[in-house]
Amino acid sequence: MDVRVITLRYQEGLQGFPEEALRRAISGREVLEAREHFFMHGNVPHLALTLLMGDAPADGDGFRRRAGPDPEDGLEEARRPLYRDLKRWRNDRARADGKPAYAVARNAQLAEIARLVPRSLAGLKEIEGIGEAFCRDYGAEVLGLMPDVTAPAPEKAGPDGGGADETDGEIMESNESR
C-alpha cells in the first residue's frame, strides 16, 4: 500500500478539473480510499486528492471490488431488505464520521445482524466482532433499524427460535415505543 496526493487545478476551458492526471496517478491500481479537499489558490479553484492505493490491480474504474462472496447471498429473501438498510445506514454513518465503512461494521456483521434481528445490546454483542464500543457508538441506531414485526424464524434458528415470533399467518403490530 502507498499514499498518493494529487492536486488538480480547475481549467476554465474544461469547466472542471482534468482527469488525465488522476488516471496516471491510479495507473491501474486499486484505490482503497480517497479523500478530497477543495481550496482556492490565487483565486483559482484546486482539488487535492489523497489516495490510499492497494497492491492489487484495479478493476476497470480503479476502485476495489469485494474479494469474496457477498454476505447477502447467504440471507433468506425476507432478510435482504434489512441487510440493505443496514449497509445504507453504515455507509452514511461512516461518511458522517469520516471513517471508511468497514471501520463501522463489516458486511458479514451486517448480514448476521439481518439474519438474527437482535432486539437488545446483549443480542448485538453475540455477533462476532461486535462489542462494547460498537454498542456504545452505534447500538441504539442499529436496534432502531430492526423491524417491528419479523418474518418466521429461519430453519437454522437456535432452540429459542432466533427471536422471531410466529403468528399463524397474522401480522401482529406492536404499539410499544422504542
| DSSP per-residue codes, 90-130 | HHHHHHHHTS-HHHH--HHHHHHHHHH---SHHHHHTSTT-
Q: What 3-state class would DSSP assign to 6?
A: strand
Return the pLDDT at 36: 86
Among 1-10, 36-45, 120-129, 152-161, whose mean pLDDT is lowest? 152-161
Cβ–Cβ under 8 Å, residues 37 and 67: no
Query: 130 near 109, Cβ under 8 Å?
Result: yes
Whether 60 and 100 have beta carbons less than 8 Å apart is answered as no
Mean pLDDT, rounded, of the chain: 78
pLDDT at 136: 94
d(CA 23, CA 74): 36
pLDDT band at 22 (very low <50, low <70, confident <90, very high): confident
The answer to whether 127 touches 112, Cβ cutoff 8 Å, is yes
First to last CA, the chain: 44
C-alpha cell at 163: 427471536
pLDDT value of residue 94? 87
Query: Is residue 64 within 8 Å of residue 102, measured between CB atoms?
Result: no
Longest Cα–Cα distance of the chain, Å, equals: 71
Predicted TM-score of the model (pTM): 0.49
| Angle CA 79–85–89, to nearest 5 | 145
Q: Which residue has the higher pLDDT, 61 or 89?
A: 89
Instruction: Give pLDDT, residue 68.
Output: 63
108, amino acid identity: A
Q: What is the pLDDT of residue 93?
A: 92
